[in-house]
Structure 1
């Protein structure tokens, strides 16, 4: 089995003080490099794919896939900027860290409530 984010919950729960990056990757179901991309965008809002690729030392296609995943999760927005000579480029900005933290809390609270329901409904015959 690969080390996908969904399979890291048990490992995460065993840590008494897990790093924020691991919590974010696990809860949002994203890879570590996607979390890193988000955090770089927090520091460098309005970055292009080329700028991110240079900062992250990754190829453009990998950065593009990371940004697509982050946009799907609502963690990053894309804005189009018109160029003086014609055409346009896309710039990416992370949502505020405080908003991402609020989403993390909401996701964990929803999951915890579901687990509590499973525990409460188990009567020994539900196998």
Structure 2
């Protein structure tokens, strides 16, 4: 795999998909790893994810909760015949994630352009106490 395809260098930061998703969705890099595990391996129980990524079940549970809050995974309850239930988690399609990221970047860009257009030299002088 071409590493440069997954990295974007800007003057102040080098982006990879993990830190970009962390920034856009307000999640941890470990949460992003859980998202990609679900995306690659399909719908799974917490215990199966934990085994695959070699993390404690409680750590994976927290990551999945963060992903649910961010809208990156869905949860389905599976009822057992003998009583009880368990949950299966599934990653939303990566194309949906890319669309959300692009929309956020476009909004950020518009806001930054508006902000920078509204800064004057007088504003800078005031800010610097001159």
Question: Same fold per TM (> 0.5)?
Answer: yes
State the TM-score bracket (shorter-chain normalisation): 0.7 to 0.9
Is 1:31 the equivalent of 2:28? Answer: yes
| Structure 1 segments (4+ residues) deviating >2 Å | 11-15, 124-127
Which is strand-richer, 1 or 2?
2
- For structure 2, the residue ranges without an aligned partner over 5 or more in a row are 1-9
Pick the structure with greater CA Rg.
2
TM normalised by structure 2 equals: 0.81
- For structure 1, the residue ranges without an aligned partner over 5 or more in a row are 1-10
Provide the rounded CA distance (Å) in 2 between the counterparts of 1:93 and 1:12.
36
Offset of 1:45 from its aligned partner?
A: 2.2
Partner-residue secondary structure (3-state), 2:120: coil
Provide the rounded CA distance (Å) in 2 between the counterparts of 1:13 and 1:107.
19
Q: Alignment length, in residue pairs? A: 116
TM normalised by structure 1 equals: 0.83
Q: CA RMSD in A?
A: 1.9
